[in-house]
Chains A and B, each alone.
Chain A
Amino acid sequence: NAGVTQTPKFQVLKTGQSMTLQCAQDMNHEYMSWYRQDPGMGLRLIHYSVGAGITDQGEVPNGYNVSRSTTEDFPLRLLSAAPSQTSVYFCASSWDLSYEQYFGPGTRLTVT
């Protein structure tokens, strides 16, 4: 089992560019989520999904889109990157909210 994988590991964007952060899991987990981590702010929930075809907004959804067409994949799209989106992004998955979340290794994004 690869667990939760994220690509890329590092990315530098210019303001206004768009990109997609990839997340995949091979554990057949229904629940998947995206967090951003900034110094002193903890892990803040961006978007989450309780199953294929279902997504919802978390605490800080503005500027991000998600989709969940399969159980395995949960990509995060930045529509028009801004310097405020410079952060480390983690994807996580679990069976449901009563079980542990498995986190991916993270993507470090810098927007200049």
Chain B
Amino acid sequence: QQPVQSPQAVILREGEDAVINCSSSKALYSVHWYRQKHGEAPIFLMILLKGGEQKGHDKISASFNEKKQQSSLYLTASQLSYSGTYFCGTLRSQGMNRDDKIIFGKGTRLHILP
């Protein structure tokens, strides 16, 4: 089941902050965040695991509320290079079973104005 991302789109001025949310109706093991620039492939940002472990970008922060099945990506003091579409992907179990798979949301478009 596809996670729900909000907002769908946001426009900021350089230096402003943004929060992108990702929620699921099912219990989650991990949340994966990617950024995609127009015409390019998605690029990994970070993984948040049940239990608090995080893997990924030092300069990007995110949270994972396991009880609420929600994750938020925090973009502070935004730069022009932050523009793009952000996708969250959710994994419902540890990934050790054959039918475990990451399902992505529809994305949040972020546009930074100078």
Contact = CB atoms under 8 A, between A and B. Distances in A.
Interface of A: 33, 35, 40-45, 48, 50, 54, 56, 58-59, 90, 96-106
Interface in B33-54: 34, 40-44, 47, 49
Given A56-B98, A100-B44, A101-B44, A43 B91 contact: no
A40 B8 CA distance: 9
A98 B42 contact: no
A97 B95 contact: yes
Given A98-B30, A100-B44, 5 more contacts: A43-B107, A45-B103, A56-B101, A97-B100, A100-B55
Most buried by B among A42, A45, A54, A101: A42
A102 B32 CA distance: 13
Given A103-B41, A103-B42, A106-B41, A98 B47 contact: yes
B42 A96 contact: no
Nearest to A47: B101
Interface residues of B, number: 28
Contacts of A97: 30, 91, 94-95, 100-102
A59 B103 contact: yes
Interface of B: 2, 30, 32, 34, 40-44, 47, 49, 55-56, 87, 89, 91, 94-95, 98-107
A98 B49 contact: yes
A98 to B, nearest CB: 6
A96 B95 contact: yes
Given A44-B104, A105-B41, A100 B47 contact: yes
A49 to B, nearest CB: 10
A90 B41 contact: yes
B98 to A, nearest CB: 6
Contacts of A40: 106
